[in-house]
Amino acid sequence: MNRRRVELLLISLLVAVTFGASLLLARDARSGRLPSAVRSLWPGGSPAASPEAVSCVRDPAGLPPPPNGPDGRPSNYLHTCGAKIYDARGREVKITGLNWSGMETSDAAPGGLGNRNWRDVLDQIAALGYNTIRIPFSSEAIDSGQPIGGVNDALNPDLAGLNGLQMLDRIVEGARERGLKVILDRHQPSAAGRTPLWYTSETPESRWIADWRMLAARYRGNDTVIGVDLDNEPHGPATWGTGDPATDWRLAAERAGNAVLAANPYLLVFVEGIENNGTDHYWWGGNLAAAGSAPVQLRVPNRVVYSPHDYGPYVSDQPWFHDPTFPRNLPAVWDHHWGYLAEKNIAPVVVGEFGGWSFGNDADGKWQRALLAYLRGHDVGFLIWSLNPTWDTGGILNGDWQTVNLRKQTEYHPLLAAPLDDGPTGTFGLAPNGVTVFVSTDRNGTPPGTVALSFRVLNDSPVSLDLSRIEVRYWFRTGSAGIPSTSISASADGMPGGSIQAVIVPTRLGGQDHYLRVRFSPGAGTIERYRETGTITVSFPKPAAAAYPPSSDYSFVGPPATPTGDGYEESNHVTAYLDGHLSWGREP
């Protein structure tokens, strides 16, 4: 077997493993349940909430619920709390994605679309395990009359004739289908290139802010777009905290950030650094040394994410690469310029750009390996530059725009965090039809001598489900006495009488004696997508108390660890089945 075939085989195996893990994740991603096999693939995945994080579970901004997404499911926007980012359900999440550049160029479209179909690119990004795409664009690219270029219409017939904004709508829609999130990045005013400040005489600040206001409103209610990176790499005359409206990037970020949040208050606002903080010189967009003492303050709290850029000596030589202790000096360099923001719990940090060819013992390789260790050790998110193979840093893809740079993917993959969401189709966010059960047992008001099981079934899938396809099982403890089915009563809010069939079924599964089986008649109705049933209650007389403490049942649910106000919680010891196949929970 030649070297090329070996590389292709290894790439196929890596993608296959990631794809398999994504299928496991799909059922569990929305509630943060990650199988152990998947945790090993996404080491930055879904940690248990720490006591200090309890106050961060709900968005501290106290906003009204956002509108539902385009497919009708509840929105899953993100918010910050200290140095962490949380989703709408209170899960701590981490952004680990990549840049897909090209829309900032004269083509006004992401790169590679002359070589392949845009959906295929999104599938590959998802299969490789990245959870977010940063899309650089220019102000020129989102002019309504700006046509896209560099696109093979035969491979992308649905992009033919579109302008940049219409093409961006397609990319956002495709990302949503795959469970990917999107950050929009105003990379430069025009295809001519980056400028030191966020405005030019041809593209004044008023145009910059108007563009952001338009984009924020355009995607309001579409939580695929989770954030905006206000301006790419302020440098040169850009200052921080000086109070000069012409150069103070901090003040400009507040002006634009407030305009964005006035149009869509649920977005994250990514703020890059500057180049020079007094005599302290650093990367364009990388110097956030003054942000701790002069933070960006927006009218909607808990929305700012600081996003420095960092590169190695291959991109540009710098004094810190010649320190006699290099690369051991690098953590202190990062601490000073941006790492302290996360370390001191001031605000989240997501490195918006970094990348390079080497992971070896040359200077660039030492820099990149040190940075990866720092990101892992400080639990910092990142967006790799870039998917595209056409940059001086190289890309995740090789020059054919098809195959994966195996060395890069192997190095980056262990740092990838869990998905931020799922989607109705596609590789990464494939969401098969499934249900979630919320349970409460022996609630207050249950008559003495009676066991009462109350539950609601959530349809956590993109299509409506007929209740007659669903079965719920409550598992009793080993050795408990049998209960005659004739003594069971069942009722449900919003269902016709006689809709529920509850019986006791003998079993030896897991050493259990029997379980309570709850089924629904064909006339019970349907659960619409991303909606749940009313309360379903099943009760029966307790056996002799000495022989049957219900708290010993495998499926018994005690008081919830994190009260939700209604006494119900997700319980994976109460199982649910769809068309006879286990869809929720874990059997004894």
Q: What's the rounded Cα separation, in Å, for the pair 251 and 239?
A: 10
Give one DSSP letter per residue of 118-136, joined into a string: HHHHHHHHHHHT--EEEEE
Q: Whose structure tokens read 């000096």?
A: 329
Q: What is the pLDDT of residue 428?
A: 53
Please give the Cα distance from 537 to 488 (Å, whole number). 10
Per-residue pLDDT of the chain (588 residues; tens, 9 = 90+): 343 343 434 444 444 444 343 333 333 333 333 332 233 333 333 333 444 445 677 898 999 999 998 888 889 999 999 999 999 988 899 999 999 999 999 999 999 999 999 998 998 898 899 999 999 999 999 998 889 999 999 999 999 999 999 999 999 999 998 889 999 999 999 999 999 999 999 999 999 999 999 999 999 999 999 999 999 999 999 999 999 999 999 999 999 999 999 999 999 999 999 999 999 999 999 999 999 999 999 999 999 999 999 999 999 999 999 999 999 999 999 999 999 999 999 999 999 999 999 999 999 999 999 999 999 999 999 999 999 999 999 999 999 999 999 999 999 999 999 889 877 654 454 444 578 888 887 555 667 777 788 889 988 766 789 999 999 998 887 555 556 666 788 888 888 878 899 988 888 776 666 888 999 999 899 998 767 898 999 887 776 555 566 677 888 876 655 444 556 777 888 999 999 988 888 888
Catalytic residues: 233, 353
Domains and CATH numbers, the chain: 3-49+78-415 (3.20.20.80), 435-584 (2.60.40.710)
Crossing angle of the two packed helices 164-177 and 118-128, in degrees rounded to 10: 40
Segments in 145-272 forming alpha helices (H): 164-177, 205-218, 249-263
Q: What 3-state class would DSSP assign to 330?
A: helix
DSSP label at residue 113: T
End-to-end CA distance of the chain: 46
DSSP designation for 488: -
Confidence (pLDDT) at 271: 98
User: In the block, which residue shows the tokens 């606002």?
Assistant: 269
> How far is residue 21's CA from residue 40's CA, in Å, rounded to a whole number?
10
Structure tokens, 405: 């740079």
3-state secondary structure at position 99: strand
Residue 26 CB contacts under 8 Å (≥ 6 apart), including other chains: 179, 422, 429, 430, 431, 432
Report yes or no: 99 and 387 within 8 Å, Cβ to Cβ.
yes
Q: How far apart are CA 126 and CA 114, in angstroms?
A: 20
- Spatial CA neighbour of 71 closest among 432, 529, 576: 529
504 DSSP β-pair partners: 516
Tell me the torsion sign for CA atoms 559, 563, 565, 571. negative
Other Cβ atoms closer than 10 A to 334: 24
| Euclidean distance between CA atoms 339 and 360, whole angstroms | 24
pTM over 0.85: no
DSSP code of residue 335: I
DSSP string across 512-550: -SEEEEEEE-TTS-EE-TT-B---EEEEEE---TTT--G
Strand order in the sheet with 78-81: 78-81, 84-87, 92-93
Reference 215, options 311, 135, 294; nearest CA is 135
